[in-house]
Amino acid sequence: MKKRFSIVMIFLVSAFAARSQEPLVVGLLQMMPVPGDAQANLEKADLFCRKAAENGADIVLMPEMWSNGYQWLPSLERADVEPWKANAVAKDGPWVQHFSKLAKELDMAIGVTYLEKWDVAPRNTITLFDRHGKEVLTYAKVHTVDFAPNERSTTPGSEWFVGSLDTKKGPVDVGAMICYDREFPESARILMAKGAEIILTPNACTLPDLRIDQFRIRALENSTAMLMTNYPQPYMNGRSVAFDAAAEPLGEAGPEETILYANVDLGGLRFYRERTIWGDSYRRPHRYDDLMKENGIEEFSRKDLQGGGDYDPSSR
């Protein structure tokens, strides 16, 4: 009985110690854009970053493709696409690097989203700068929305990245995915398998209850904290949201322009991950060969926006 009591006490003391760390504060910048105006969007993001820093944020995240405000395209006609492509910005150019300098100035990590200049067609990209202004990761959206003209006009990303982010609350392993990526369980799963403790998700679409629930399940099945920034009404419908690694809600924004602050308990997250039955605990990757096959199921075949033939995901 005495031994059992000692084990219980050790467990409780460990749990208390793990959860006594000051939380990591993530600011989700639910901002209204000026579509197609990179300078106006830079200035607004600068103001929101400064406000978040004043309120104690350790990391901030913009909505998807903030540089051009996720500007829509009416068609794939050259007259529509070429001006849109011309609005892309380079990762090492002044627009993106402004936020590297700002991150260092504010001593705060910044997740910058933009239409990135790229060979042939631009990319839908996020770059995460740490509080010293150093690049931690750059990720381009893998699951581009190829049934929409603007994203069919982009180059998809080819791999996933996780980086160690130095924060004032200590190091944390961070991954990123973008909007439609979250509809595919493989996205968050790969990031979890690469060691992500938190996953940042810039978004640009309406978020009904079903999509919020789906995002929450990504947290549950991967034992990874999930954080998503969306655009407010009337552009989208807001609802930027965050869940911890046990899929417990950390906050949800309303439809208005705002900053949602989510407190991520890193000690609690790690304590939970060491004991959960989910995440990578009991997976059997050696049984998943069928997942890597292109099955060509007829019901899921689609026509390509470009050319009108059958859409081939492997060509992208």
In this structure, are residues 226 and 243 in contact, taking their beta carbons and an 8 Å threshold? Answer: yes
- pLDDT per residue as tens digits for the range 109-135: 999 999 999 999 999 999 999 999 999
DSSP element (H, E) containing 176:
strand 170-176
Per-residue pLDDT, 9:
41
Beta partners for residue 112, in sequence order: 127
293 part of a folded domain: no
pLDDT at 22: 94
Q: Is residue 285 part of a domain?
A: no
> What percent of the chain has a predicted confidence (pLDDT) above 90?
84
| Nearest CA-CA partner of 125 in 141, 109, 148 | 141
- Give the CATH number of the domain where residue 212 resides: 3.60.110.10
In a domain, 211, yes or no: yes
CA dihedral for 202, 205, 211, 214, sign (positive or negative): negative
- The mean pLDDT of the chain is 93
Q: Residue 295 falls within a domain, yes or no? A: no
- Using one digit for the tens of pLDDT, what is the confidence trace for 251-292? 999 999 999 999 999 999 999 999 999 999 999 999 999 988
For residue 96, how many other CB atoms are within 10 A of its CB? 23
Q: What is the DSSP string of 82-124?
A: HHHHHT-B-TTSHHHHHHHHHHHHHT-EEEEEEEE--SSS-EE
Residue 307 lies in a domain: no
pLDDT digits (tens, 9 = 90+) for 9-62: 444 344 434 554 899 999 999 999 999 999 999 999 999 999 999 999 999 999
Q: Half-sphere exposure (CA, 13 Å, Cβ side) for 132?
A: 7
User: Is the CB of residue 177 less than 8 Å from the CB of residue 164?
Assistant: no
* Tally of domains in the chain: 1
Among candidates 18, 54, 70, 55, which has minimal Cα distance to 229?
70
At position 136, the amino acid (one-letter code) is V
The H helix count followed by the E strand count for the chain is 8, 12
* Domain that residue 31 falls in: 22-280
Residue 35 lies inside a defined structural domain of this protein: yes
171 vs 12: which has the higher pLDDT: 171
Q: Is residue 77 part of a domain?
A: yes
Looking at the domain assignment, is residue 146 inside a domain?
yes
Residue 297 has pLDDT above 90, yes or no: no
